[in-house]
Structure 1
Amino acid sequence: MIYVLERFYPDIYIDNIFLLPLDEFKKRGIKALVFDIDNTVAPYDMAEADEEMIDFFKFLKKQGYRLCLLSNNNKKRVEKFNEKLETLAIYRAGKPGVKKLENAIFDMGVTKKQTALVGDQVFTDMYCAHKAGVLAVLTKPICNRDQWMTKVKRGLERKVIKAYLRRMAK
């Protein structure tokens, strides 16, 4: 059973994106960061990136990272959120499918080994990262408000995360 769960485990688990382990990324040769939007970068009901997020993305770009937003949400949502971030943005990504993630990696001019996917869901983001062969970085959800479909998955996700944390404590 544990082996089955491992495909949903993160390689790195953090509280929020502002705590990304940039020194560790440098050691691992990570050059590109692919972010989920909803409840990773912003609450799902926040239409536009706020100043804190705009500044953070500028900081990451100055550090030399190539950035991408990869969301299962629709075009209108993703493009509106990305207006002030001005980065590569992909909507209707179909995660945990990997096709659009692989396209993003190609578009950024990096390899899978140089890429980290940062998201808040184990069944979409972490599974997608592992299937694609990129570093899987899990964040805690920004807020408790979710779309109804995501709420259904959160209970199971908590069990997977508990199993992951127990394993890491050994």
Structure 2
Amino acid sequence: MVSGFKPTWMVTNIYDLTPTDLRANGIKAVMTDLDNTLIAWNNPDGTPELHHWLNLLELAGIQVIVVSNNSRARVDRAVAPFNLPYIHRALKPLAWGLNRALRRWHLRRDEVVMVGDQLLTDVWAAHHSGVRSVLVKPILSSDAWITKGNRLLEKVVMWRLRHNYPELTWQEDLNERKTH
């Protein structure tokens, strides 16, 4: 059961995912969670670092698609400055939103990675849609009220994952090693 929460990689933050590393792993598109992964949940404008990272991926021809459980209005407002495509109300941890993105943008599962800050939603949805996953540390240590319960349960799941998979550690980049 706990294996469904095991990410392919654990990388400190989304900016550690370089176009070179992504391409070396056959990744042509990055699906990403929004809050506390791409942007701080309480700062929809992003940072200069985020703009730079998105520009690097665009120049490398790597598509970025936001897959979020938030409402259309929230996601539209957050991604407008970046001109990113998105799936709203993705229903993670179900695979529905990821599968919808795969179909809409004609992507193969083996050329996509899902990046998120939560095991219980992002990694689980990736696992069940057949897409590789990258767990990143949340941008902020605080969360929106709706996420706080997940974080408590996530601590138990992470403890079990580390017990079952001692090699599961935070990495600097995708080249260190896959966790499975």
> Quick check: TM above 0.5?
yes
Q: Does 1:168 align with 2:143?
A: no
1:146 aligned counterpart, secondary structure: coil
Q: Does 1:34 align with 2:31?
A: yes
Paired position in structure 2 for 1:18: 15
1:168 aligned counterpart, secondary structure: coil
Letter in 2 for 1:8: F
C-alpha separation in 2, matches of 1:16 and 1:158: 18
1:152 Cα deviation from its structure 2 partner: 1.1
Greater RCO, 1 or 2 (C-alpha within 8 Å, sep 6+): 2
Paired position in structure 2 for 1:47: 44
| TM-score of the pair, normalised by structure 1 | 0.90
Question: RMSD across aligned C-alpha pairs, in angstroms?
Answer: 1.7
C-alpha separation in 1, matches of 2:48 and 2:80: 12
Matches within 5 A, 1:1-170: 4-20=1-17, 22-166=19-163, 167-169=165-167
Q: Which runs of 5+ in 2 are unaligned?
A: 169-180
CA contact (8 A) 2:69 2:91 kept: yes
Q: Which runs of 5+ in 1 are unaligned?
A: none
CA contact (8 A) 1:94 1:100 kept: yes
1:169 aligned counterpart, secondary structure: coil
Residues 169 and 112 (structure 1), Cα distance of their counterparts in 2 relative to 1, 3 Å cut: closer
Identity %: 31
1:8 Cα deviation from its structure 2 partner: 0.7
C-alpha separation in 1, matches of 2:113 and 2:98: 11
